[in-house]
Structure 1
Amino acid sequence: MKDYPWLVYLKELAGGFCVRCFLFAVNSSTKNCQFGVLVQQPFVNFKDAKGKDGVLPNHKKTDYHKNAITASSDFLQTYQDLSKRIDSTFQWSNQAIFDRNKQALSSLVKCVLFCGKQGISLRGHRDDATVDPTSNRGNFKALIDFRAASDLNLQEFRKHAPKNATYTSKTFQSDVIEVVGEYLQEKIASNINDSSPYCRIIADEVTDTVSNQEVLSLCLQYVRYDENEKPYIEEDSFAFNNLEHTNSETVAKTILDVIKKSGLDATKIRGQSYDTTASMSSILNGTQAKSHKVVPNAIYSPCNLHKLNLAIPSACKEDHIQQAVTVINQFFLFFDNSPKHSNNSSDLKRTKLISFCKTRWTEQEEAVENFCDMIERNNEDFCSLTEGWQWDGKTKLDAQGLHSSIQSLEMIVSIVALKNVLVPLRGITVKLQKRDIDVHSAYKQISSVIAVVASIREDIDNIFKDWYSDLSSLADELDVTLQIPRLAGQQKHRSNQTANGTEEYYKCAIVIPFVDYVLSELRMEDCNPIEGILSLIPEIVVKVSNIDEIVKKLKCYESDVPRFSSLKNEIFSWTRTWNQKNQLPTNLCKSLEACDKYLFPNLYVLFQIGCVLPVTSCESERSHSTYRRVKTYLRNAMSEERMTNLTLMHVHYDMNIDVDQVVDKFIRKHPHRLF
């Protein structure tokens, strides 16, 4: 063993082996010979070990032994110095490629995010390899050129990257957009977890006029907690889906499919908010009814803003009010459709008329007020459209007709009534569009508006005297005589009240019916579960005398609370807690913050549910505007998935997106792209 260091003795077999050949011997000869002693069999005949024909000297002379010695020496050398290993060399080379490409990938993902958040189009045909290099480059490649000027790593990558791995193709863009869209949906869905398990769905459909397609916007509302464990209400756009049909069954199925695909638990939905159309709100065959079969505790409440908004069109069934709204819109269209009508008079363009829009709720009162101001300031200029200027016959005819329409006393009374009755509604329409409003705050504000309108109705005799002075001055401005219209026989399209004077006639004929209509349309529907949860707010619960009635209304949440049998005792203790305190929580979020989940586990869950009870569907309405900004006529060929992902990026422009997580997600989906 001293003369032959490759020789080892194996005690178990009582023989010797050549360790180098045992591990590394390879038969390189063309003959299929088998290894024998010292390789596959132990050497035990020690008397034949040495000598001229000895086993050990002859073994040392074989080719396979010499090759094994070389191979084993190389192995030992690379084992001691890893940098010389071939697999390490390949691994380090791959790692270098991986690191370089990953850094470049981060820069390119940031370019896609920038375009998506800002709503800048990513035109794949401009970034394709077949595009004419002399033509205008796409936004994506132009942004890469701009970024590469200050990004040394991106410069280096663009110099050495092969032509089939530049990460600038339209396929790469689509893959990144898909990954970012999935990341956003996963991040939103992750906020609905064990600490905040309940949510509300907000949905509304809009017509995509570019592709003539109905699109459903789905949003989620849930409770989040800040770094100080203070709860607040969050609303997020979640998905956009094309609808084959707009019936209730298709809409409900689409909503539930999106919820299931995202991994959310549909049984944790506790509220539904849609508009007040029959296909959505019907208790028999509407979307809310179809969803209610799957999620029985998902309470539906019609969008309160839609109810406020529809109060005016409903009240416009009164002929004079309906005519006033029509005239206001006709004036707007007359000036808005023709620059000539607006630009020929410096006075007329000082203030722009506003349309009496059916969906932009805050503009209704502003449109009427703006119209009144324009009449007072620009009546003479408007009349000149029919006198001094050289207009075509149609323009003169339209101007004369519009001018005659506002010289009616019924029209003036209707406009003044609209202006004054809409004033209390303006503030509430702004407040109800806030994302963090809860159902109790909304109901309080709506109740206050109803109270204001009711007080107007109760004191209409005195209030209309002030209004009458305003309409008198407006009538003087328009040279309209204050008089009662001639009552000849029974009129079908005009009031026939008998009155002692002009003021009393128009008060009874126009103003009182209009106020009554508005009051009837503003009424709120009762809902026992909502009333039950609202009764738990300290501001209200200290005034409650019958706790059994509250428990009865909350029976539907028996499966949600930890122990429903102890709910009555909890409410009693909760009431005693706040009886001696001066400052009481006034809404659901503050009540949730003040509720100890260990002392009042049932109430804590109920307050979480209360925070996601339906109020309005404004978030889906807002998302429609974003959708229209992204889906232009030049981007008509986009698929539903790409459109959804780009719109989500644009909607959540202020959301903190971890680029490293997006890159890692992209690598997991497309690992070959990094090499």
Structure 2
Amino acid sequence: MSFLAAENSSNDVTKEDTEEPQEMTLDMELERPKAADCTGTDKETLKSALQAAITAACCSRDRTSQGSHGGEVEYVTKSEMNEVLEVCEGVVREGILSEVGNSFFSLFVDRAVRFGEMDLLPLFLRFVDSFDVMRLELMGFVDVNLDTEAMCERLFDIVVKEWRLNLKYCRGQAYLGSGEVSYKLKAFACKVQEKYPLAICTHSSCYSFNTWWSRSVPVPSVSRALDTLEKIVVFFSSTADLEKQLDQIIAIGLRENYEKVHELQGMFCSSWLEKHDSYDVFAQILEPIADSLERFQCSSPQIWSLAVINQAKKLVQLIRDFDFIVAMVALKNVSSFTKELSAALQKDHFSAASQLCQISGIVATLNRVKTNIKVFHQNWFDEACAFAQSLGVPIKVPDSVTVPRDSLLKPGTYYKDAVSLPLVDHLINSVKDHFSDDHKEALNFLSLVPCSVTVSYTFESLKSKPPLYVSDLPDPDNFFTELSCWKVKWKTKVVSPTIPDTIFQTLRLPLMQYFANINTLLKIMCVLPSTALEYCGEVKHHKMFEDYLRNTCAKDRSPCLAVLQVGTNFNRDLDRMVAQCLKVTPKTLEGICLV
């Protein structure tokens, strides 16, 4: 069964909950009473066996696990086991949706990922649960190769029909893609926002803003450079010994910054997408990385496997390419203009709200850079040439570019037009698009968090006009009175060490029952994709998904197993998994119990 078929099958599970299959063989009908005997088995035994089977199936594709048997179960065929997993995937999805209910939510479509022979877009749902915990859940996937109209139709079908969510409660959209994929996702976003204006388009806090905008750059050289950086990270994170090797590289490249070395060692591979200065770090460790990779093949005695040596050799070739070096240096320098913004958005709610006034200044600065691109590009190009010289890389136009014999096209001129200018252009548009007036107004509500109330000028701005979300407020007529009372409440407690500094802490206060409007606004902030996901004891599921991708080869990945590994909560799902399997795949469940 193909992965796409597996996904479609799982999406139909909810239909099987409500109606019996119409087309069944006589043999299956005759066996149904016998299969029902499985329900007589001790329920705890069924639960234990199914949990063990799901766990084994998830671990079987992990290249870091030892002694895996491919997820095979002795008395169950592979196709039967896949059917059970699909049923369980549907149960996990339904369990998550039951927690969403009719509350506010937002949509997040992550970058395309290779599953077998297919490229799929991961679909995430963000909401706040009944315990006021911010949640970001992996819900499924959509084929990246659908045309624009088909993509829009498929996404609408998934959200509205399969998930049964009402888009009038959607308060945010975040879509990560470049080139044609970006165009398709923007088309969907526009259609949603046309009908539901409060479904604001933003970036996602799963990535630093610098990582976010750079991953959607429609510049081939930059896309290839980012792919190379990804391969470097995957390589060094594949084993503990290789990660230690990267720690040594970081110590060499950042030897003049002990605090930074201490911050990154042991953490860089898992956190670089969330860092606002990752390109700066890569530029500083580029030479040590190249030197280290070259030593892999000439170590004596040979301590690395042939597979590792071959991978290292390929990475050296990618790094010792002037096209990569130019793109890397350009990314480092252009991202410096949004470094402070990116860092503030990650830091805390007060910093994020306070940074909003800087956005118009950032755009003005970038426009000046664009006007004087010749000067800026020359500085960046000189820096790239210095890197190339130290790495022994020839300075030239890419081999893929056809240059007529009589042409005077020089590398500097080529890269100004092919990399530097479009990169600056893209960043200008990204800042404007991702920080629209509505988004900035929405982020102002972060100043409602008590620690910001009396120290943030943005709180005062909330009194100037009716709020963006006035239609969502339970008592809009008393909003301004409520604001004044809220300020008085916290004005005398600024010095208290117990003053809440997170949305979660604020929502859990007993007094929130008297501030219904502020309670609603803070819950909307919980689901806005750009606000930081507060750690409230829950494992960050996007991080789990990134770990899943890092620990599996593309050929071994399964959309079904990805959802199960990331989203399964056995305390919530296991009883329903058993019940649904007894309805849909009773004989297979019986076979699992025989192991």
Shift of 1:664: 2.6
* CA-to-aligned-CA distance 1:503-552 (integer Å, 9 cap, x gap): xxxxxxxxx99998898578462433414523434455435599686463
Asked if 2 retains the 8 angstrom alpha-carbon contact of 1:532 and 1:550, the reply is no
Q: Which residue of 2 aligns with 1:552?
A: 465
Q: Which residue of 2 aligns with 1:216?
A: 121
312 and 611 in structure 1: CA distance in 2 versus 1, 3 angstrom threshold: closer
2: CA distance between counterparts of 1:427 and 1:656?
A: 42
Matched AA of 1:202? F
Are residues 1:112 and 2:53 paired? yes
Matched AA of 2:437? C
Are residues 1:309 and 2:211 paired? yes
- Structure of greater relative contact order (alpha carbons < 8 Å, 6+ residues apart): 2
Q: Which residue of 2 aligns with 1:186?
A: 94
1: CA distance between counterparts of 2:50 and 2:295?
A: 60
Matched AA of 2:127? Y
Asked if 1 retains the 8 angstrom alpha-carbon contact of 2:170 and 2:198, the reply is yes
Shift of 1:588: 3.5
Shift of 1:601: 0.7
Are residues 1:287 and 2:192 paired? no
Asked if 2 retains the 8 angstrom alpha-carbon contact of 1:439 and 1:610, the reply is no
Are residues 1:199 and 2:105 paired? yes
Q: Which residue of 2 aligns with 1:581?
A: 493
Asked if 2 retains the 8 angstrom alpha-carbon contact of 1:202 and 1:272, the reply is yes
368 and 665 in structure 1: CA distance in 2 versus 1, 3 angstrom threshold: same
Asked if 2 retains the 8 angstrom alpha-carbon contact of 1:442 and 1:615, the reply is no
Are residues 1:602 and 2:517 paired? yes
Are residues 1:297 and 2:212 paired? no
Matched AA of 2:126? Q
Matches within 5 A, 1:148-167: none
Shift of 1:599: 1.0
Query: What secondary structure sits across from 2:110 in the alignment?
Result: strand
* CA-to-aligned-CA distance 1:111-144 (integer Å, 9 cap, x gap): 32122332449xxxxxxxxxxxxxx9974335x7
Asked if 1 retains the 8 angstrom alpha-carbon contact of 2:174 and 2:202, the reply is yes
Q: Which residue of 1 aligns with 2:84?
A: 176
1: CA distance between counterparts of 2:551 and 2:164?
A: 29
Matched AA of 1:527? D
Relative to the length of structure 2, the TM-score reads 0.56
Asked if 1 retains the 8 angstrom alpha-carbon contact of 2:445 and 2:459, the reply is no
2: CA distance between counterparts of 1:421 and 1:566?
A: 46
- The structure having more radius of gyration, on CA atoms, is 1
445 and 120 in structure 1: CA distance in 2 versus 1, 3 angstrom threshold: farther
Out of 527, 532, 536, the position equivalent to 2:437 is 527
Query: What secondary structure sits across from 2:151 in the alignment?
Result: helix
2: CA distance between counterparts of 1:224 and 1:541?
A: 25
Are residues 1:141 and 2:53 paired? no
Shift of 1:221: 1.2
Shift of 1:566: 1.3
* CA-to-aligned-CA distance 1:213-238 (integer Å, 9 cap, x gap): x4232111122365xxxx33221101
Structure 2: which 5+ runs fail to align? 1-33, 63-67, 236-244, 254-268, 298-315, 370-379, 394-407, 414-419, 534-539, 591-595
Q: Which residue of 1 aligns with 2:256?
A: none
Q: Which residue of 2 aligns with 1:237?
A: 138
Q: Which residue of 2 aligns with 1:23?
A: none
* CA-to-aligned-CA distance 1:323-350 (integer Å, 9 cap, x gap): 9x979979x99xx9xxxxxxxxxx99x9
2: CA distance between counterparts of 1:328 and 1:244?
A: 19
* CA-to-aligned-CA distance 1:185-211 (integer Å, 9 cap, x gap): 1221222247xx211111135254633
Shift of 1:288: 0.9
Asked if 1 retains the 8 angstrom alpha-carbon contact of 2:363 and 2:431, the reply is no
Asked if 2 retains the 8 angstrom alpha-carbon contact of 1:273 and 1:301, the reply is yes
Provide the identity percentage: 20
Matched AA of 2:210? L
Matches within 5 A, 1:117-132: 117-120=58-61
Asked if 2 retains the 8 angstrom alpha-carbon contact of 1:218 and 1:238, the reply is yes
2: CA distance between counterparts of 1:522 and 1:244?
A: 24
Shift of 1:651: 1.9
Matched AA of 1:141? V
1: CA distance between counterparts of 2:442 and 2:548?
A: 32
Q: Which residue of 2 aligns with 1:99?
A: 40
Are residues 1:264 and 2:170 paired? no
Q: Which residue of 2 aligns with 1:371?
A: 286
Shift of 1:620: 6.6
* CA-to-aligned-CA distance 1:405-454 (integer Å, 9 cap, x gap): 79xxxx9999889768868988997997x8xx887665668989999999
622 and 426 in structure 1: CA distance in 2 versus 1, 3 angstrom threshold: farther
Shift of 1:98: 4.4
More helix by proportion, 1 or 2?
A: 2
2: CA distance between counterparts of 1:248 and 1:541?
A: 45
